[in-house]
Structure 1
């Protein structure tokens, strides 16, 4: 009889331990305040927890705080609750260092203890809509046209949406798990001819990929085997041609494909819009590459890294590896003829045949250089280095870049009015 008693005692101890761990945090619809003593415990206690790494003196942090306060009760009421917590990263530097926090505010989403960078919106209602993606079912089953419409509306515009018409959910379940953090997946079991017209497919089974924010969609009719289906899903995570800005550049952070980048004077001009249509056609036929564009007027600092500015002959096309190097095709410095479609084809042909010249991205990633050498608190050293850099530049001896930023560093180190208006990261140097 002793063995069952011992097992019962162990079970009671185990249950008591679990209860005391859960009771350690008071989840009452408010943001949890964490420190070094309870941070790890909080991360392991909740399946989903969004953590705000902030500094008390940070202006962006102060503007973000009420948005989080507003989102907390809504996220806590979800079927799969999401907890919001914050930690003074300027004070508790050990935790900040562990998670590579070097700007304020930094948001990280912990899913079952595993962290991921939060790149979503920071307004309360949009933040809630964005985070719902991570607690949604891997594949949602839809049984009517109304259910399809409601699903697409609720999904919003932050992620691509894959709708399987006449598909069994098991066909896409594995890939839905794999890309859960990047896209919505659903299967329509019952739908009308009107739905087929609306989503522009004429037979089933069909998988429709939607990009609501770009008003683009693609249709896949099979074969529904892992290799082909996986390629379609991966290639359609991005629109055919990506407008490069601070937000979309984050989407390219983990992209393995090289980026065919077209730089125009002003991406909103009619000529540029016509060129973008030609780029979409080229992108459809070259899915092993990512196609993007940027206007000098829209993002001058970024364009200048590739030697493009108001004095350059534009449009200019290059192939970027997402890091320090890019390639120009010899003999095609710009797309300045009347037949731009043919020039794009000749550019891609020249690139694939290796008729290229490798170049380095122009200019240093100065903040990345500073952060990598000395850390962000050394204000006096920063001032000294800035002064030295200005002196060196003034005597014409600083022709070589100190360090060239990757696509991730560009996102972190460039600033913009639009980013600030959305409560973007505020540098510690500020």
Structure 2
């Protein structure tokens, strides 16, 4: 009788902690879990690491992602620190979709000890596995040979910056490794040859080298290794010296409070653009309080046009962007000539430091972009169809009158009615 009382008390105690007595139903068996509202909270509490796919059954991108998750699940489950993959029908369980701010399908979130982190990594099975290994790796890896260094860099892949402390004690960077575990790889190399010093281009120790493999860039820090200076170097080097503007890099920039020196060019792949990018890297290495980025009109015209950068503009041009709705041009340095661009970049930065700025606002989204962001493209199609039917019915009922388009009030009424009656259904998200 006393044992039964203890068991009942234990169940009540677990319930107060938010851990249901049915937690034993979850297993790390290499299969993708199908979650629902009744067991979602207990799942993310039960597993230390769980990647959740918020999907919709009608979403084509979701259907293509599903077999990749099925393939990755058993590999991740077999890690020393297993990562479980689960999925939730966010189109059905809309309360959870709203709670976790799901604005497109599929959306992936990694829950680490119950805390959600947006997943921006690759979605092919083998690359997804490599990416997620970062989150269960040691905070600081100890590398004791040249081959260990090479293996570490190979396993780390290209999706995070890699910090290697040559001749450093792990305690020097351990606090930063814990703080920034979600953003970078951290390691210290104990034993290495002169060949490694040549390979990573440092000539004395201790040295902290940061690599950006996907951009073929690196930076070196020789100290001082006090927390203030070391922390500044680590934080300022999460991004490469010069950042190509893409959807992925914009997501990374949202956590960086520095102003962005944005250079708009016609085609970033042209030889003259590559030369300009090298000059921007040199400027970035001397101005760590700023982020330097570039975009080609040919590569991303919509983004460039936001800052009045089109093929009709005198390009390349440089602006200062706050990462939000405002940007500034430097008076007298609106564009770059082909000659002596290094000096022109210096004058631009000098004008910025002196405050010779003309403030502007980025172009707002188009009407269709605004509507899409509010209610989704599917609802827009329905609205257009209903308005067309309304026009057709009116025209059939008035044979003796010319065809007339509905008034603005009628269209507004139709749109607001559809917005009120439609279910919560974010738009699809590109893979």
Q: TM-score, normalised by structure 1?
A: 0.85
SS across alignment from 1:51: strand
Stretch moving more, 106-115 or 337-346? 337-346
- Shift of residue 196 of structure 1? 1.6
Report how far residue 185 of structure 1 moved. 0.2
SS in structure 2 of the partner of residue 73 of structure 1: helix
- TM-score relative to the length of structure 2: 0.85
Q: Which residue of 1 aligns with 2:422?
A: none
Q: Which is worse superposed, 223-232 or 330-339?
A: 330-339
Partner of residue 425, structure 1: 429
What are the within-5 Å matches in structure 2 for residues 214-293 of structure 1? 214-293=215-294
Q: Which runs of 5+ in 1 are unaligned?
A: 392-411, 414-423
Cα distance in 2, alignment partners of residues 223 and 383 from structure 1: 63
Matching of residue 121 in structure 1 with residue 118 in structure 2 = no
Deviation at 1:363, TM superposition (A): 3.3
Distance 1:6 1:122, change over 3 A: same
The corresponding residue for 2:45 is 44
2:343 & 2:7 partners in 1: Cα distance? Answer: 75
Structure 1 residues 280 and 386 mapped into 2: Cα distance closer, same or farther (>3 Å)?
A: farther
Moved more, 374-383 or 313-322: 374-383
Q: 1:235: how far off?
A: 1.1
Looking at structure 2, the residues matched to 375 and 36 of structure 1 have their Cα atoms a distance apart, in angstroms, of: 24
Q: CA deviation at 1:369?
A: 3.2
| Structure 2 equivalent of residue 349 of structure 1 | 350
> 2:333 is matched with which residue?
332
Cα 1:15–1:183 change in 2 (3 A) is farther
Q: Which residue of the partner structure matches residue 370 of structure 1?
A: 371
- 357 and 16 in structure 1: CA distance in 2 versus 1, 3 angstrom threshold: closer
Deviating more after overlay: 371-380 vs 45-54: 371-380
Aligned 8 A contact 2:52 2:109 in 1: yes
In 2, Cα distance between the equivalents of 1:218 and 1:386? 58
Give 1:354 shift.
1.1
1:6-17 map, 5 Å: 9=6, 13=10
Distance 1:12 1:137, change over 3 A: farther
Q: 1:111 aligns to what?
A: 112
Q: Which residue of 1 aligns with 2:395?
A: none
**What secondary structure is seen at the aligned counterpart in 2 of 1:213?**
helix
Any idea what SS the aligned residue of 1:163 has?
strand
Aligned match of 2:209: 208
Q: Which residue pairs with 1:310 in the alignment?
A: 311
Query: In the alignment, what sits opposite 2:79?
Result: 78
Q: Could you say if the C-alpha distance between residues 84 and 144 of structure 1 is closer, same or farther in structure 2, counting changes exceeding 3 Å? A: same
SS at structure 2 position matched to 1:323: coil
Matched residues in 2 for 1:16 and 1:27: separation?
Answer: 25
Matched, 1:181 2:182: yes
Give the structure 2 partner of residue 28 of structure 1: 29
Deviates more, 1:90-99 or 1:207-216: 207-216
Distance in structure 2 (CA, Å) of the matches to 1:21 and 1:173: 38
Corresponding position of 1:89? 90
Q: Distance in 2 between matches of 1:7 and 1:204?
A: 64
The equivalent of 1:64 in structure 2 is: 65
Per-residue CA deviations over 1:169-210 (Å, capped at 9, x if unaligned) read 110000111111110000111122222222121221111111
For 2:294 and 2:167, locate their aligned partners in 1 and report how far apart those are by CA, in whole Å: 36
For the aligned residue pairs, the C-alpha RMSD in angstroms reads 2.8
Unaligned runs of 5+ in 2: 389-404, 406-425
Give the secondary-structure state (helix, strand or coil) at the position aligned to 1:138.
Answer: coil
Shift in Å at residue 386 of structure 1? Answer: 11
The 10-residue stretch of structure 1 (268-277 or 373-382) with the greater mean CA deviation from structure 2: 373-382
1:417 corresponding residue in structure 2:
none
Q: Within 1, Cα distance between the matches of 2:54 and 2:278?
A: 42
Task: Flag the 1:366–1:323 CA change in 2: closer, same or farther, 3 A.
Answer: farther
How far did residue 281 of structure 1 move? Answer: 0.8
Aligned pair in 2 of structure 1 residues 352, 383: CA closer, same or farther (>3 Å)? farther
Equivalent residue, structure 2, for 1:405: none
CA distance in 1, matches of 2:368, 2:121: 23
Distance (whole Å) between structure 2 residues aligned to residue 50 and residue 306 of structure 1: 37
User: What is the CA–CA distance in structure 2 between the aligned matches of 1:212 and 1:71, rounded to whole Å?
Assistant: 24
Alpha-carbon distance in structure 2 between the residues aligned to 1:128 and 1:143? 25
CA gap of 1:130–1:333, structure 2 versus 1, over 3 A, is same
The 3 A distance-change label for structure 1 pair 7 and 349 is farther
Gap change, CA 1:54 and 1:386, over 3 Å in 2: farther
Q: How many matched pairs?
A: 391
Cα-to-partner distance string for 1:59-109 (whole Å, 9 max, x where unaligned): 000000000000000000011110100011111101101000021000011
The answer to whether the 8 A contact 1:58-1:426 is kept is no
Match of 1:361 in 2: 362
Q: Tell whether the 8 Å contact from 2:11 to 2:21 is kept in structure 1 after alignment.
A: no
2:366 and 2:151 map into 1 onto residues whose CA distance is: 44
CA distance in 1, matches of 2:221, 2:189: 15
- Residue 325 of structure 1 deviates from its aligned partner by 0.6
Q: Could you tell me how far 1:359 is from its partner in structure 2? A: 0.7
Q: CA deviation at 1:27?
A: 3.2
8 Å contact kept, 1:102–1:376 = no
For the residue of structure 1 that corresponds to 2:319, the secondary structure is strand
Using the alignment, how far apart are the partners of 1:279 and 1:294 within structure 2? 13
